[in-house]
A = this chain, B = another copy of it.
Amino acid sequence: MTKVTCTDYSPELFQSQEITDLGEFLARHRPEWCRVRWIDVLGLDQPEIIRALADKYQLHPLAVEDIVHLVQRPKAEDYPGSGDQPGRLFVVARAVDPDEGQVRTEQVALFLGRTTLLTFQEEPGDIFEAVRNRIAARTSRAREHDASFLLYCLIDAVVDGYFPVLEQYSDLLDDVEEELLTRPCLETSRKLHALKRELVMLRRAAWPMRELMAQLLREKHECVMENTRTYFRDVYDHCAQIIDLIEMYREIAAGVTETYMSAVSNRMNEIMKVLTIISTIFIPLSFVAGVYGMNMYVPEAQWRSMYAVFWLICGTIGGGLLLWFRRRRWI
């Protein structure tokens, strides 16, 4: 079920309502006092809602297509106004949900007009709840700004959502590192593989977010006040930081893999050393014992003290080999 929420506010007043009858709502005039109107669509399974809004607010068909085409790269597109058609700024962002161990990203589409902001969220969970509550607060300074400031607040919320996920990965990476270095086993190697894969995916979401912010920062737009651009710079910095962190985690993960491989090789060396030491000592000794077990005329086997001599031989061979191993630093 798609849920549509309309939030109107001015510095003095604030009103938020869930829209049930969209047609009636769109036909009504917006209240006089309303300085910014924000229509938030949660869920995309009712195309007729999107169509109605697109007609009402004269959105470009290509942009409307992009709302429901859910594999968009984050981007900002300027649809300049012409004649009586108002200009629109179309932004696609990608939010990330801190699911258990798996990155799930959600596409968010935003249309900015002069006094109106339309947002379309892919998933039912409302990631803009916190922003709405902040605006609702009587003391909020956000209400003094225009619609582009609201756009900033929402994108900021999307970008700040990356940090807790990254922290999760940082912890996970530390765990895997600890585990691999103390007890290298196949299971942890797989965990590391999964972690790297998630980081690749996270990076794929984060890079274009930075490009998006750079574009918003660089290109002027009629609907974005000069004032708001200072705030966009802040979000841009956050994106840069997120990418820095992802790249750092990726490099550390690569280092862990290498260290893991050398730990495995070392372990193998150790195993082989034990085998070689034991075999090298006892295989010759077994041969000597085998010689004296032969059923033929072995002259020295007749001696009384031969048994002692035999152990002397064994001790000499074994001791000599042990000395040799120690000289080679195997023991």
Interface residues of A, Cβ cutoff 8 Å to B: 60, 62, 66, 71-73, 75, 77, 79, 181, 183-186, 189-190, 192-193, 196-197, 200-201, 204, 208, 230-231, 233-234, 237, 240-241, 244, 248, 251-252, 255-269, 271-276, 278-280, 282-287, 289-299, 301-304, 306-307, 310, 329-330
- The answer to whether A298 and B299 touch (CB under 8 A), given A73-B241, A264-B262, A283-B282, is no
The residues of B that contact A268 with a CB separation of less than 8 Å are 265, 268-269, 272
- The answer to whether A60 and B284 touch (CB under 8 A), given A259-B193, A262-B189, is no
The residues of B that contact A301 with a CB separation of less than 8 Å are 294-296
- 11 new A-B contacts at CB < 8 Å, known A62-B234, A278-B280, A297-B306: A73-B240, A190-B259, A261-B265, A282-B287, A289-B290, A289-B294, A292-B296, A293-B294, A295-B298, A296-B302, A296-B307
Q: Do A193 and B266 touch across chains, with their CB atoms under 8 A apart?
A: no
Cross-chain contact of A276 among B201, B244, B274 (Cβ < 8 A): B274
Q: Do B230 and A60 touch across chains, with their CB atoms under 8 A apart?
A: yes
- The answer to whether A200 and B255 touch (CB under 8 A), given A185-B266, A283-B286, A310-B296, is yes
- The answer to whether A200 and B251 touch (CB under 8 A), given A275-B276, A283-B282, is yes
Q: Do A283 and B289 touch across chains, with their CB atoms under 8 A apart?
A: no
Least Cβ–Cβ distance between A195 and chain B, in angstroms: 10
The residues of B that contact A75 with a CB separation of less than 8 Å are 237
Q: Do A280 and B275 touch across chains, with their CB atoms under 8 A apart?
A: yes
Cross-chain contact of A289 among B197, B293, B303 (Cβ < 8 A): B293
Least Cβ–Cβ distance between A155 and chain B, in angstroms: 14
